[in-house]
């Protein structure tokens, strides 16, 4: 029984030390242009040759949609949604 307690204490202390060594990393803050470009690139990765659009049409659609998304004020939309409830 004593051996079981020693094993539990040893493992618990080791696990705490392991968790303490995990570095915290904050995500980088991207400029609006980099965010825009990143969104377009993500959209382009979704294109498939089986879609109803050519790759060039898809690219134009990605850029158009991302430009609209860039212009949205997400905080205002969330406030309006909350007040409608």
Torsion of CA 77, 71, 44, 56, to 10 degrees: 130
Domain that holds residue 30: 2-84
pTM: 0.54
* pLDDT the model gives residue 52: 92
> How many domains in the chain?
1
Alpha-carbon dihedral sign for residues 26, 27, 30, 32: negative
Residue 21's pLDDT band, with cuts at 50, 70 and 90, is low
* pLDDT, mean of residues 36-46: 93
Question: Phi first, then psi: what are they for 47, rounded to 5°?
Answer: -65, 145
């Amino acid at each position: 029984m004593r051996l079981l307690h020693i094993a539990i204490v040893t493992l618990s202390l080791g696990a705490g030390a392991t968790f303490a060594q995990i570095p915290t990393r904050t995500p980088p803050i991207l400029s609006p242009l980099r965010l825009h470009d990143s969104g377009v690139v993500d959209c382009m990765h979704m294109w498939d040759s089986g879609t109803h659009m050519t790759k060039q049409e898809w690219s134009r659609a990605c850029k158009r949609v991302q430009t609209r998304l860039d212009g949205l004020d997400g905080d205002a939309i969330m406030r309006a949604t909350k007040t409608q409830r």
